[in-house]
Amino acid sequence: MRHYLLLLFLLITSVEVKAQNNLVPNPSFEDTISLWQPTYWTTARESPDYWNDYMGGPAKTHFFTPFYAFAPHPPRNGHGMMGLLAGQACWQSPFVGEDMFKEVIESPLTSPLQKDVKYYISFYCKPMDSLQWTTIGPDFQPASLMSFSNHLGVYFTNTQYDGINSAPPAFNKSPVCAKNVVSDTGNWVRISGVYIPDSNYNYIMVGNFFDGPHTTFYHPCKTIGLIGNDQSAYYFIDDVFVSTDSTGFIIDGIKSSKDEYGYSFANINNQLIFDFKSDATVNFGSVYDLYGNIKKTYTFQSQLYDNLNDLTQGIYLVKINHSQTIITKKIVIEHEN
């Protein structure tokens, strides 16, 4: 009996230690203060939104001021998620200084980052598309056009910004961020990487820390008359992770969390990866442009890998014939200037 109790104690202790590995105190925005904002998290710039389903039904939003609307989907995990603007394609042109309306959230870490120690960082995001955009109230109001952007990421600091009297500047750098435009509105997208800090930082921020000239938008601004929400890049955020523990961690830049057919999909730095787990069947794939023209064809079994740098910049569709299922994914090809 003693041996059994000792083993049970060790198992419980290991679970507790494992749960404490994440230095973000409220990674999935679960705990709330009067339902208006998640515990530990504050606004570091402008007015990001807090969405939750604590009142039942579909996820609802509670801003840092008490208004609400219905969200187009539930949080990725638990009851809460954040929503923020990563920038607006139709801001003043040319971009000048702190030009774009961007929103940033901030939280203290449970313990400071240690200089020269390797940390594993990730979070999930999901962009809002034009048909999901909502105004304050119970109904969705479609926007004429919304944009998607790159550079959504994290930044570590020792400054606690309040978003009104002080706000983080455009650093034009981020230790872990999306290099490519994140445009998959159907899935939660994982942004991840490794970071070795140059100082002992106490706070984490999530947002876009680049200015206008260093941010890529799709769709790009078509007319300066569309300043405002019509060309905003809006993202839901959930499950923020910072740890020295790499157990189960996948370093892949941007990765889809969708796994309903037993596959993983990634579109990273113009690379295409489909990985069917222990699949012995023959799969067929094609890359199409938006006019329906076939650009590439594939025959493969468990894994498909291809570098797409030979395609011109733009949006493409990947179709995979897997057993009796057709899987369609949207990819974005970008080339550095």
Q: Express each pLDDT in 184-197 by its tens digit.
A: 888 898 898 889 99
The contacts of residue 164 (CB under 8 Å, 6+ apart) are none
Q: Residue 208 and residue 127: Cα distance in Å, rounded?
A: 13
E-strand ranges in 109-259 read 119-127, 148-149, 152-157, 176-177, 189-195, 203-208, 217-218, 232-243, 254-256
pLDDT reported for residue 245: 84
6 band by pLDDT with thresholds 50, 70 and 90: very low
Q: Does residue 230 register a pLDDT over 50?
A: yes
Give the residue with greater pLDDT, 57 vs 171. Answer: 171
Give the residue with greater pLDDT, 243 vs 131. Answer: 243
What average pLDDT is seen over the chain?
Answer: 78
Q: Does residue 117 register a pLDDT over 90?
A: yes
Q: Which amino acid is at 130?
A: S
> Could you tell me which of 260, 285, 264 has the C-alpha nearest to residue 276?
264
Q: Which domains does the chain have, with CATH numbers?
A: 16-243 (2.60.120.260), 260-333 (2.60.40.3080)
pLDDT reported for residue 130: 67
pLDDT reported for residue 155: 98
> Could you tell me which of 328, 333, 332, 334 has the C-alpha nearest to residue 286?
328
CA-CA-CA-CA torsion sign (287, 290, 295, 297):
positive
DSSP per-residue codes, 191-218: EEEEE--SS---EEEEEE-S-GGG--EE
Q: Express each pLDDT in 252-276 by its tens digit.
A: 433 333 444 467 777 777 888 888 7
Q: Express each pLDDT in 19-69 by its tens digit.
A: 348 999 999 998 877 677 788 999 999 889 888 877 666 777 766 666 666
Edge-first strand order for the sheet with 189-195 is: 60-63, 49-52, 80-88, 232-243, 119-127, 189-195, 254-256
Q: How many CB atoms lie within 10 A of CB 40?
A: 17
CB 184 within 8 A of CB 316: no
Q: Which amino acid is at 231?
A: Q
Look-up: residue for tokens 């800090």?
A: 197
Instruction: Please state, for a pLDDT cut of 70, what percent of the chain lies above it.
Output: 73
Name the range with the highest mean pLDDT among 65-69, 143-147, 152-156, 224-228: 152-156
203 band by pLDDT with thresholds 50, 70 and 90: very high
Three-state DSSP class for residue 226: helix
pLDDT reported for residue 256: 39
CA-CA-CA-CA torsion sign (119, 204, 97, 147):
positive
Q: Residue 42 and residue 104: Cα distance in Å, rounded?
A: 9
* Burial environment of residue 4 by CB neighbours within 10 A (0 to 12, 13 to 18, 19 or more): exposed
Give the residue with greater pLDDT, 100 vs 286. Answer: 286
Paired with 51 in beta bridges are 61, 81
pLDDT reported for residue 228: 45
The contacts of residue 84 (CB under 8 Å, 6+ apart) are 48, 49, 102, 103, 104, 105, 206, 207, 234, 235, 237
Q: Residue 219 and residue 224: Cα distance in Å, rounded?
A: 13
CB 92 within 8 A of CB 99: yes
Q: Does residue 176 register a pLDDT over 90?
A: yes
pLDDT reported for residue 280: 62
pLDDT reported for residue 20: 43
